[in-house]
Amino acid sequence: QVQLVESGGGLVQAGGSLRLSCAASGYTFGYIMAWFRQAPGKEREFVAAISNSGGATYYADSVKGRFTISRDNAKKTVYLQMNSLKPEETAVYCCATGRPATMWGSDYDYWGQGTQVTVSS
């Protein structure tokens, strides 16, 4: 059974940084990994994705240059380093894995419960 468990969320001031982690279990960790976020009252949106080897990454335009996705296949963990955070990026951040049609699509097979990120102004 595939399980994804996120951690690292919290409260940070605008302009600050956080590093999220997503630990996977129950499978070989050979799939694409991605981060999504959902703010209250808004639809879930794609943030970043990384290929199974880590050789390819893809970012939403809104986070390019500020966020970095990475993975440690030995630890079965994917990370999201978030810098220069903005209040409007307050949301629940979830990781996902699977074989989507595109890295930025929402048709991932497995999802974590998410971790809350709150950015104060």
Q: What is the pLDDT of residues 81-113, one digit of tens each?
A: 999 999 999 999 999 999 998 888 889 999 999
Identify the pLDDT of residue 69: 98
Q: What is the 3-state secondary structure (H, E, C) of the chain?
A: CCEEEEECCEEEECCCCEEEEEEEECCCCCCEEEEEEECCCCCCEEEEEECCCCCCEEECCCCCCCEEEEEECCCCEEEEEECCCCHHHCEEEEEEEECCCCCCCCCCCEECCCEEEEEEC
Q: At 28, is the pLDDT very low, low, confident or very high (cuts 50, 70, 90)? A: confident
pLDDT at 105: 87
Average pLDDT over residues 15-33: 92
